[in-house]
Structure 1
Amino acid sequence: MPAATTMAHVSKAKMLLYRQSQAIAFAEELKALSVGAALHRGNRLVGLNAYLDNDGVLRTRGRLHSIDTAKDAIILAPEYRITNLIVRSFHEKYHHLAHEMAINDIKASFYISRLRELYKSCSSQTTPDGTDSEGENRNLPDTVYLHRHRLFWPVIGERRQAQGEEMHFEIAHSLDTSSCIMCLSNFMALRGTPKEIFSDNGTNFSATEKAVREELKNIEHDKITITFDGIKWRFNPPGAPHMGGAWERLVRATKGILKNICTNYSFNDEGLRNALMEAQFIINSRPLTFVSLDTEDDAALTPNHLLLGSANGYKPLPKEGMNLHRRWIETQCFGDRFWQRWIKEYAPVLTRRTKWFEKVPPITIGSIVVIVDELLPRNLWLKGRVIETMMAKDGQVRRVTIKT
């Protein structure tokens, strides 16, 4: 009876394939490195700080090697079959969507020259219509007025946290208040208690908000006591769905992913949750910063870096013999480096605008306005008079009260 295949067998098989491919593509480099010689100045790998690991696999030593945050990338040539299969596997992992996410994930494990060119060729091979299906998952939402909660979470003690527009899904079995409360409770059990919640004016949200106020923070539901303490709930103005654009845009991207993953699929509860978790992982793997193919550059930051510690959830084991104090020091170094990158690479992106470059005079009390109602023809839209304005910190009016 044949022995069962284990992860150790799979790992050895992968290393064998890597070595075979590298033996053909980098014969000269392997010969030099195997005897401890340096690569000559004009060699194509001279800038990669290449070395042979314990398995005889050619890798490039990155700048994060000293703090042991991940394994060094394996060097592969783009023209070989094994490289093509690896890239195609990542393409399929992300369901032929979210190309920048897939490229960022590949870059975390492999160094492949002309990666974008190779990925594009794989994309045309596997996408049904042969076109670029990247869509809009790659880009961050355009904003005119950036709310502070889009950038930072609270600072607790010495622990610094940053918010990167992560997605978390909970399945509500109905649209009543009870289901909304249970979804919020489930979220808190996994992610912690939020300080502030932003939502539209759905009736279930309004009723739940009343339930989580300070005087009603202990709720009896199905003989379970749920505690909501100190949560502030902020509602977007009615008739202003664009103020929820930061999350609505990601919901739209999620629907696109589900459509591609499960075309014409009839879900049960278990299947729907699994599909949502898959979509959630893909959305949270999206790069928040530019995906560079330079081996000296770090992988792009993603929401999963905040949730899981890395884009793909990989967490390296500590080195053998490393004591807890040394491990703690390395963790602090990693945290400091991540924070520096967050401020340097991600924060400036949020300040850029693609439209509305010039300020306009703010709307004033007494102005006559037309109220857009997408459910009615334009000639039936109501007119109204502004009776109250609320000015933002930048001097712009974005909320008004209208009398019709």
Structure 2
Amino acid sequence: MEENNPISKLIEHYSSWSRLKKAVAWILKLKGRLLLLSQRKKTLAKTDPGSDLTPPKFPKEQQMDQFKATYGADRLSMEDINEAEKSIILFEQRQHFKQELTLLETGKAVKRESSICKLNPVVDDHGILRVGGWISKMAMPMELKNPIILPKDYYISKLILRHIHQQVSHSERSHMLSKLQQRFWLPCANSSARKIIRSCVFCRRLQAKVGEQKMSGLPEDRVSPDLPPFTHVGIDYFGPIEVKRGHARVKRWGVIFTCLVSRAIHLEVASYLDTDSCINALRRFICRRGPITSIRTDNRTNFVGAEKELREALKGLDHDRIQNALLKDGVK
């Protein structure tokens, strides 16, 4: 691409495909209106040579409104946007595939040394280079049968890829390429799409590694694999669980003992939330699993479904009595 070309500078000025098309559409629309005005002046000069061709002057606040009313430049239509897109693509193809377009327009075949020779390129009615093939007579849109050929690693190709990447809501590369191939054919599109995704700030934020909290060192009773299981245990309650006793339903609680090293568990049943039931559960556990050295437990209401009951029950526990019972067995 020529660096001093004003059209190339205009294209590189925009970082959005949509904004570029709108800018070119306004320029083309103004160009058409000015050509029409020039023709009218020439016609009027021939028919009425003595007429005043100087446009009337308006106050500054009315100049823009009068300009829009005179040239019809108040809004852009979809036809204007499509025409601008064709003009941009045609300009880029003339810059990159100038030799191929010249050969095809004169009815000659593309040289084998060309990078698009294998695509069997053809030129449509607007002079745009498209991919050829044996499905040209199939009843389907022109964009699908003969996609537009884009030059590799050109700025316009990057703008289109970036626009499609935003259209597919920053989806993965395969979705992006599927959307691209519905209208365009870009050589090495896979690597180009990967570059676009890698440079996308929004995608980098989504794919960023989540911060992890650094764990502190484990206490000694958690890293003693040489000791027997349940030497150091954690204890907690769960419940209440309704069970049938005769014709009545009563509440029972589960007591879970967890080995702090191997994470093995042992379950016991507590008939009530009192001191005696707690001591009895501990004694049954020690009788079945052997002596224990330490117990870790929280003194909070971690009992599922009975928070109010447990708050009142914890007040009635005789902690001194439980501690004395544990000290007899050498439990911390």
Q: State the TM-score bracket (shorter-chain normalisation).
A: 0.3 to 0.5
Q: Could you tell me the TM-score, scaled by structure 2's length?
A: 0.38
Larger radius of gyration: 2
TM-score scaled to structure 1, two decimals?
0.32
Q: RCO (CA 8 Å, sep 6+): is it higher in 1 or 2?
A: 1
